[in-house]
């Protein structure tokens, strides 16, 4: 290769590849849904089907995250905040996970503070953060999941609470350092939390930035992921 010839921008190549992978996954999910519709109800609700549904959602979420992080890195991720009805927003997110909830036997409830019926945020970006948070909670929940929406010190707060064992103490203590390396036991990289924090910080009003927080406890006693939006 001529030394003066510019090399490939590897991050752009990866982003393009991830985009193609996401399109292929969408085609695969559509074809799988059509095939599934031809099966008996018993076959549709098998344990294997639950694994397939969860991993489809997990893969799609990771690809969306990678594309989002690339766009953040090159300042090409647009922010389009608007007012949204929170009941409608949460219901739409849960509807996308209904099959996984059913196959895993997870009871999901949500509550929206009637004094805070509207939220001001980018629906697509916050929807991606919430979807990833739900997928993570599904992985560790025993049988219950609770999504709560309210207000705290003038900020909208969305929380996802599960009844699992909760976040490891080390993870909570180092939550400011979201990319913590791969955990060989769980395979976690902390990338989802990093993505959520970056998206939260894009939301700013009156010199206040959005933020995320992880802890343990809440009504269900397990992991508690909180998203604060000004």
Residue 160 forms beta bridges with which residues?
147, 225
The structure tokens 């003038």 sit at 154
List of residues 6+ apart from 205 with CB closer than 8 A: 120, 230
Query: What is the distance between the alpha carbons of residues 153 and 41, in angstroms, rounded to a whole number?
Result: 48
**Terminal-to-terminal C-alpha distance of the chain:** 52
Instruction: Tell me the CATH number of domain 82-229, given options 3.30.365.10, 3.90.950.10, 3.80.10.10, 3.30.565.10.
Output: 3.30.565.10
Which whole number is the average pLDDT over 45-66?
76
For residues 17 and 3, what is the distance between their CA atoms, to the nearest angstrom?
A: 26
Most confident listed range (16-20, 163-167, 173-177): 163-167
Mean pLDDT score of the chain, rounded to an integer?
83
Q: What is the pLDDT of residue 8?
A: 57
């Amino acid at each position: 290769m001529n030394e003066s010839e510019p090399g490939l921008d590897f991050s752009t190549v990866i982003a393009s590849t991830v985009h193609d992978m996401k399109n292929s996954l969408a085609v695969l999910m559509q074809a799988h849904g059509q095939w599934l519709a031809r099966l008996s109800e018993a076959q549709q609700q098998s344990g294997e089907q639950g694994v397939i549904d969860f991993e489809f959602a997990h893969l799609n979420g990771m690809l969306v995250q990678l594309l989002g992080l690339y766009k953040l890195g090159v300042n090409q991720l647009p922010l389009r905040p608007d007012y949204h009805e929170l009941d409608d927003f949460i219901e739409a997110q849960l509807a996308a996970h209904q099959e996984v909830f059913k196959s895993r036997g997870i009871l999901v409830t949500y509550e929206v503070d009637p004094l805070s019926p509207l939220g001001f945020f980018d629906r697509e970006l916050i929807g991606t953060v919430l979807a990833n948070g739900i997928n993570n909670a599904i992985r560790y929940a025993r049988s219950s999941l609770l999504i709560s929406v309210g207000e705290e010190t003038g900020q909208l707060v969305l929380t996802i609470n599960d009844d699992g064992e909760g976040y490891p103490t080390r993870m909570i203590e180092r939550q400011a350092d979201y990319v913590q390396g791969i955990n060989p036991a769980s395979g976690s990289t902390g990338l989802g939390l990093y993505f959520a924090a970056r998206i939260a910080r894009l939301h700013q009003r009156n010199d206040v930035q959005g933020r995320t927080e992880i802890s343990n406890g809440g009504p269900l006693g397990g992991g508690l992921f909180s998203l604060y939006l000004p």
